[in-house]
Structure 1
Amino acid sequence: MINLSSSDVATTLTADEPGATDPRLQRPVPPLRDDLHLVEVARERDGEPAWCIEDPVTNRFYRIGWLEFECLRRWGQRPEQICQQIRAQTALEPDVDQVLALVEFLATHHLLRPDTATVDRFAAEANERSPWLKAKWWLHNYLFFRLPLVRPQRALQTMARALPWLFTRSCVMAVLLLGILGILLVVQRWDRFTHAVVEAFSLSGLVSFACALVVAKSFHELGHALVATRLGVKVAHMGIAFIVLWPMLYTDTGESWKLKGSRQRLAISSAGILTELALAGLATLGWVMTQPGALNSALLYLATTSWVLSLALNSSPFMRFDGYFILTDVLDFPNLHERAGGQARCWLRRRLLGLNEPWPEAFSRSHRRALVGFAFATWLYRLVLFLGIAVAVYTMFFKALGIFLFVVEILWFIVRPIHQELSHWWSQRRAVPRHFRVGWLLVALGLTALLFIPWQTSVGGPGVIHSARSLTYYAPMPARLEARHDDGSVEQGATLVSLIEPDISLDLAAQQVALDNIDAELTGLLDNPQGRAQLSAAQARRLLNLSNIESHQREITRLHLSAPFAGKWQRINEQLAPGQWLSPREPLGVLIDPAHWVVEGYIDQQDIHRLEVGSSVRFFVEGQPSALHGELVRIAPSRTRLLDQTMLAERHGGVLKTQQESGSEGQPLELEQPLFAVQARIDTSWNDIREARGRLHIDAERQSLAARLGTWLAAIAVRESGF
Structure 2
Amino acid sequence: MISMSQSDASQHSEADPRTQQPVPPLRDDLHLVEVAHERDGEPAWCIEDPVTNRFFRIGWLEFEILRRWGQSPERICHQIQAQTALEPDVDQILSMVEFLDTHHLLRPDIATVDRFAAQANERSPWLKASWWLHNYLFFRLPLVRPQHALRGMARALPWLFTRACVVSVLLLGLLGILLVVQRWDRFTHAVVEAFSLSGLVSFACALVVAKSLHELGHALVATRLGVKVAHMGVAFIVLWPMLYTDTGESWKLKGSRQRLAISSAGILTELALAGLATLGWVMTQPGALNSALLYLATTSWVLSLALNSSPFMRFDGYFILTDVLDFPNLHERAGGQARCWLRRNLLGLDESWPEPFSRSHRRALVLFAFATWLYRLVLFLGIAVAVYALFFKALGIILFVVEILWFIVRPVTQELSHWWSQRQAVPGRFRLAWLLVAMGLAALLFIPWQTSVGGPGVIHSARAITYYAPMPAKLERRHDDGKVDKGAALVSLVEPDIGLDLAAQQVELDNIDAQLTGLLANPKGEAQLSAAQARRLLSLSNIEAHQREITRLHLSAPFAGSWQRINEQLLPGQWLSPREPLGVLIDPEHWVVEGYIDQQDVHRLEVGSPVRFFIEGQTTPLQGELVRIAPSRTRILNQAMLAERHGGVLKTQQDSGGNGEPLQLEQPLFAVQARIDSPWPETREARGRLHVDAERQSLAARLGTWIAAVAVRESGF
- In the superposition, the TM-score normalised over structure 1's length comes to 0.97
Structure 1 residue 524 displacement after superposition: 1.0
Structure 1 residue 90 displacement after superposition: 2.0
Contact 1:620-1:694 within 8 A present in 2 as well: yes
Question: What code does the residue aligned with 1:310 have?
Answer: S
Aligned residue among 333, 340, 364 for 1:339 = 333
2:14 paired with 1:19:
yes
Structure 1 residue 408 displacement after superposition: 1.2
Q: Distance in 1 between matches of 2:62 and 2:158?
A: 41
- 1:167-199 per-residue CA deviation (whole Å, 9 max, x = no partner) reads 111211111111111111111111111111111
Instruction: Name 2:138's counterpart in structure 1.
Output: 144
Q: Distance in 2 between matches of 1:488 and 1:406?
A: 62
2:194 paired with 1:197:
no
Contact 1:337-1:375 within 8 A present in 2 as well: yes
Instruction: Name 1:239's counterpart in structure 2.
Output: 233
Contact 1:525-1:534 within 8 A present in 2 as well: yes
Question: What code does the residue aligned with 1:334 have?
Answer: P
Aligned residue among 29, 37, 42 for 2:23 = 29
Aligned residue among 267, 281, 285 for 2:279 = 285
Instruction: Name 1:3's counterpart in structure 2.
Output: 3
Contact 1:186-1:193 within 8 A present in 2 as well: yes
- 1:357-394 per-residue CA deviation (whole Å, 9 max, x = no partner) reads 11111111111111111111111111111111111111
Instruction: Name 1:628's counterpart in structure 2.
Output: 622
Alignment of 1:314-329 (within 5 A): 314-329=308-323
2:375 paired with 1:375:
no
Of the structure 1 ranges 468-477 and 83-92, higher mean CA displacement relative to structure 2 is found in 83-92
Question: What code does the residue aligned with 1:61 have?
Answer: F
Aligned residue among 655, 676, 679 for 2:670 = 676
Q: Distance in 2 between matches of 1:670 and 1:104?
A: 64
Tell me the secondary structure at the aligned position of residue 239 of structure 1: strand
- 1:338-369 per-residue CA deviation (whole Å, 9 max, x = no partner) reads 11111111112122222221111111111111
Contact 1:630-1:682 within 8 A present in 2 as well: yes
Alignment of 1:424-435 (within 5 A): 424-435=418-429
Structure 1 residue 160 displacement after superposition: 1.0
2:404 paired with 1:410:
yes
Gaps of 5+ in 2: none
Contact 2:448-2:696 within 8 A present in 1 as well: yes
2:559 paired with 1:569:
no
Q: Distance in 1 between matches of 2:346 and 2:507?
A: 102
Q: Distance in 1 between matches of 2:273 and 2:567?
A: 61
2:78 paired with 1:97:
no
- 1:32-69 per-residue CA deviation (whole Å, 9 max, x = no partner) reads 11221111111112222111111111110001111111
Instruction: Name 2:699's counterpart in structure 1.
Output: 705
Structure 1 residue 608 displacement after superposition: 0.9
2:19 paired with 1:58:
no
Question: What code does the residue aligned with 1:195 have?
Answer: H
Question: What code does the residue aligned with 2:325 have?
Answer: L
Instruction: Name 1:359's counterpart in structure 2.
Output: 353
Alignment of 1:589-608 (within 5 A): 589-608=583-602
Question: What code does the residue aligned with 2:8 have?
Answer: T
Contact 2:7-2:353 within 8 A present in 1 as well: no
Question: What code does the residue aligned with 2:275 have?
Answer: G
Structure 1 residue 565 displacement after superposition: 2.2
Question: What code does the residue aligned with 1:2 have?
Answer: I
Contact 1:456-1:704 within 8 A present in 2 as well: yes
2:248 paired with 1:254:
yes
- 1:470-517 per-residue CA deviation (whole Å, 9 max, x = no partner) reads 111111111122222333333332322222211111211121111111
Instruction: Name 1:216's counterpart in structure 2.
Output: 210
2:269 paired with 1:275:
yes
2:180 paired with 1:186:
yes
Tell me the secondary structure at the aligned position of residue 681 of structure 1: strand
Structure 1 residue 684 displacement after superposition: 2.5
Of the structure 1 ranges 393-402 and 562-571, higher mean CA displacement relative to structure 2 is found in 562-571
Tell me the secondary structure at the aligned position of residue 142 of structure 1: helix
Question: What code does the residue aligned with 1:345 have?
Answer: R
Alignment of 1:76-115 (within 5 A): 76-115=70-109
Structure 1 residue 522 displacement after superposition: 0.9
Are residues 174 and 577 of structure 1, via their aligned partners in 2, closer, same or farther at CA, if it must alter by over 3 Å?
closer
Across the aligned residues of Structure 1 and Structure 2, the Cα RMSD in angstroms comes to 1.3
Q: Distance in 1 between matches of 2:557 and 2:291?
A: 66
2:585 paired with 1:585:
no
Tell me the secondary structure at the aligned position of residue 151 of structure 2: helix
Q: Distance in 1 between matches of 2:402 and 2:381?
A: 11
Tell me the secondary structure at the aligned position of residue 28 of structure 2: coil
Structure 1 residue 564 displacement after superposition: 1.9
Tell me the secondary structure at the aligned position of residue 695 of structure 2: strand
Of the structure 1 ranges 237-246 and 45-54, higher mean CA displacement relative to structure 2 is found in 45-54
Contact 2:30-2:49 within 8 A present in 1 as well: yes
Q: Distance in 2 between matches of 1:260 and 1:690?
A: 75
Instruction: Name 2:413's counterpart in structure 1.
Output: 419
Alignment of 1:292-331 (within 5 A): 292-331=286-325
Alignment of 1:356-505 (within 5 A): 356-505=350-499
Tell me the secondary structure at the aligned position of residue 3 of structure 1: coil
Tell me the secondary structure at the aligned position of residue 628 of structure 2: strand
- In the superposition, the TM-score normalised over structure 2's length comes to 0.98
Structure 1 residue 71 displacement after superposition: 0.9
Aligned residue among 532, 538, 562 for 1:544 = 538
Tell me the secondary structure at the aligned position of residue 41 of structure 2: coil
Contact 2:7-2:355 within 8 A present in 1 as well: no
Contact 1:13-1:104 within 8 A present in 2 as well: no
Q: Distance in 2 between matches of 1:396 and 1:514?
A: 81
Q: Distance in 1 between matches of 2:565 and 2:185?
A: 45
Question: What code does the residue aligned with 1:556 have?
Answer: I
Contact 1:11-1:101 within 8 A present in 2 as well: no
Tell me the secondary structure at the aligned position of residue 667 of structure 1: coil
Q: Distance in 2 between matches of 1:519 and 1:391?
A: 88
Structure 1 residue 321 displacement after superposition: 0.7
Contact 1:451-1:705 within 8 A present in 2 as well: yes
Structure 1 residue 12 displacement after superposition: 2.5
Question: What code does the residue aligned with 2:14 have?
Answer: G
Q: Distance in 1 between matches of 2:124 and 2:51?
A: 20
- Aligned sequence identity (%): 86
Question: What code does the residue aligned with 1:229 have?
Answer: T
Alignment of 1:622-661 (within 5 A): 622-661=616-655
Q: Distance in 2 between matches of 1:579 and 1:170?
A: 79
2:553 paired with 1:559:
yes
Contact 2:8-2:354 within 8 A present in 1 as well: no
Question: What code does the residue aligned with 1:200 have?
Answer: A
Structure 1 residue 337 displacement after superposition: 0.8
Contact 1:514-1:545 within 8 A present in 2 as well: yes
Structure 1 residue 300 displacement after superposition: 0.7
- 1:189-231 per-residue CA deviation (whole Å, 9 max, x = no partner) reads 1111111111111111111000000000000100111111111
Aligned residue among 57, 66, 70 for 1:72 = 66
Question: What code does the residue aligned with 2:698 have?
Answer: S
